Amino acid sequence: MKSRLEVSASELAKRAKAWKAPKPHYKAGLFAGYAALVSSAREGAILEKPE
């Protein structure tokens, strides 16, 4: 199954420029610590040791 995106390159660039990362859901506790140490899913969601 193939998807088609009918949005111009200029519109995609405009949206990318306006995008802001969402605020973290957890600011304290276990999940906040996990979120601070885990890499992205694209990178395998590996836990990194803090430096």
- Report helix, strand or coil for 38: strand
How far apart are alpha carbons 31 and 28 in whole angstroms? 7
Average pLDDT over residues 9-25: 92
Q: What pLDDT is attached to residue 45? A: 82
In a domain, 49, yes or no: yes
The answer on pLDDT for 51 being more than 80 is no
pLDDT confidence of 21, banded at 50, 70, 90?
A: confident
In a domain, 11, yes or no: no
Q: What pLDDT is attached to residue 8? A: 93
In a domain, 15, yes or no: no
In a domain, 42, yes or no: yes
Q: Mean pLDDT score of the chain, rounded to an integer?
A: 87
In a domain, 51, yes or no: yes
* Cβ count within 10 A of residue 38: 14
The answer on pLDDT for 25 being more than 80 is yes
39 lies in which domain range? Answer: 22-51
In a domain, 2, yes or no: no
In a domain, 26, yes or no: yes
Number of domains in the chain: 1
